Amino acid sequence: MTHATDREAIPEPQNPLGVDGIEFIEFATSRPQALGGVLETFGFRPIARHRSREVELYRQGTMNIIVNAQPADVPRTVMPTERPVISAFAVRVRDAQYAYRRAIELGAWEIPVRAQAMEINVPAIHGVGESLIYFVDRYDEFSIYDVDFRAIPTVDPHPPAVAGMHFFGIVQYVGPDRTADWTEFYSQLMGFTPLPRQVRFGIMPSGLLLESPCRKFFLQLIEPDESARFAAMDEHLQRVGLGTPDVTAAVASLEKRGVEFLATDRVHSSERGALTKPLLGGMMFELVKSTPPGGGEQ
């Protein structure tokens, strides 16, 4: 056989937007210092502050986390409360304006121009619940943070990652019978594809996994279990999954830093993954065994 696809029509994976991983994940909270303290135990370092708003940038390795304490001024976006919630994620794309216009054309809700919580000039659409999805195309030579953020002096702007950690994905809670709707949303707007039910990562196997067209991160859609199916519909981004090539080593170094992991009969750390105890009233991180995209670049 000269070529793997000679004999069958195997469609190319769709990546119309040139999706290329997650640029940042944003948390909203009215207690940014408490969240900052938690993030530091995970190895994130504060590296920059927004010039005019109560917004901070934390980083380790390839991961950027934005902590936003600014009250929301756009309807249907997160109003910061004490419990931190995931209020946005930013997708790297080839051309942010193109990605944004195409998403709007296909039925996304636009965020009023120039009214984004962070004031960075990044187009955004409404995501699940009150969250936003940003499109970012400046992540190579210079970054979106150069304009609106001021670096914190004497801090290493590129702190190394603990145990090779990188963004693996985001878990999204969806309402009963809503998996198909959200799968359609992410596949239409960004080219995500659902993985077969038997493909699983980590130790939390519920729901359906969607793979990004760049194959660098995942969204995991989880419906309520039977007993909760008749409660009022609540949909939101529930937790961030951090990939690491060696979960056991990562758990060991994070525990040394003060992070606590769940150790129950049903959920406990293993070489496949681990789940932190709830922090600050409900926030969680999950560790998942995974090699960083690109084979270890940091």
Contacts with another protein, residue ranges (CB under 8 A): 105-109, 126-129, 175-178, 180-185, 188-189, 229-230, 233, 235
CB of 168 to another protein, least distance (A): 24
CB of 176 to another protein, least distance (A): 6
- Spatial separation of the C-alpha atoms in residues 293 and 276, rounded to whole Å: 23
CB of 183 to another protein, least distance (A): 8
CB of 25 to another protein, least distance (A): 18
Query: CB neighbours (10 Å) of residue 248?
Result: 15
Burial (CB < 10 A; 0-12, 13-18, 19+), residue 98, is middle
Nearer to another protein, 143 or 188 (CB): 188
CB of 175 to another protein, least distance (A): 6
Nearer to another protein, 17 or 189 (CB): 189
What is the torsion angle, in degrees rounded to the nearest 10, for the CA atoms of residue 153, residue 244, residue 185 and residue 238? -80
Q: How far is CA 70 from CA 27, 65, 114, 115, 229, in A?
A: 11, 15, 15, 12, 34
Nearer to another protein, 128 or 210 (CB): 128
Helices (H), 72-139: 96-106
**DSSP 8-state secondary structure symbol assigned to residue 174:** -
Nearer to another protein, 188 or 248 (CB): 188
Nearer to another protein, 74 or 262 (CB): 74
